Amino acid sequence: MEATCARALEIGLPAIAFTEHADYVRAFAEQRPVDMHGYLESVERCRSKFPGLRILSGVELGEPHRFPAEVSALLRVAPLDRVLGSVHTIRQAGAAVDMSQGLLTPEAAPALVREYLAELLTLLESEQPFEVLAHLDYPKRYWPHAELAYRETDFEEELRAVLEAADGRSAVLEVNTTRGAEPGRGLCPGPIVLGWWWELGGERVSFGSDSHEPAKIAAGFAAAAALVEAAGFRPSDDPAGFWRR
Ligand SMILES: [Zn+2]
């Protein structure tokens, strides 16, 4: 985290949010519940070491609607600046499988993306207290792009239902640049979905690079900011604020 703060100052970022993963599904054997106390101590240490950088605390709740008791215990530990909600997995034979785990063959991918979007809709329609909807088309990262074109319009009905539900709960739509990956795969979502968000009255947009390592923070932000601006949204006066219509 300290290396990330140093890198943020080096590239001129005025603010940064550490949205630590809180995942309760057992999609990966090495997954452990987040240690919120240790996390918050680390944030405080960074704040005293880097007074010139605004450092927001936060968490990315993975599938929180399936773990309401765990999530509410976690959120009681301390108030957080940013709470993201996301889905990474779908159920296969009773077990949660992450979309990154080779599920998306050309034959299976379209149906699995629909399952993913249905799970996302369930999350949005739940009472879970998150503000930002993270990487809403996450499976796009793992889509078999070489064999099959990924077209948002093939999932328009499902994607629009997700966006409507997000707007209905006044959520912020995150544009996730996937550590600067090639935009066709890594920009979640891309310009078509952003256009639909604008069209249905979506109010706010945030940016996430999902960097997971200091060298990749804010990777892809310049291109993403240009797209968000082209869709009609404007930056906030507050450098840590959401973009708005
Ligand atoms: Zn995520």
What spacing in Å lies between the alpha carbon of 236 and ligand 1's midpoint? 24
User: Residue 152 sits in a domain of what CATH number?
Assistant: 3.20.20.140
Place 25 in a pLDDT band, splitting at 50, 70 and 90: confident
What spacing in Å lies between the alpha carbon of 138 and ligand 1's midpoint? 8
Structural domain containing residue 215: 2-244
Token pair 């997971």 in the structure block, residue: 212
How far is C-alpha 188 from the chain's CA centre? Answer: 8
The pLDDT tens digits of the residues spanning 197-243 come to: 999 999 999 999 999 999 999 999 999 999 999 999 999 999 899 99
What spacing in Å lies between the alpha carbon of 24 and ligand 1's midpoint? 13
> Which tokens hold the place of 151?
């077209």
What spacing in Å lies between the alpha carbon of 121 and ligand 1's midpoint? 16
Q: Full-prediction pTM beyond 0.75?
A: yes
> Which tokens hold the place of 73?
């215990």
In whole numbers, what is the pLDDT of the chain averaged over residues? 95
Question: How far is residue 95's CA from residue 84's CA, in Å, rounded to a whole number?
Answer: 23
Looking at the 3D structure of the chain, how many domains does it have?
Answer: 1
List CB-based neighbours of ion ligand 1 within 5 Å: 86
179: phi > 0 → left, psi -120 to 50 → alpha, else beta; which? left
What spacing in Å lies between the alpha carbon of 199 and ligand 1's midpoint? 25
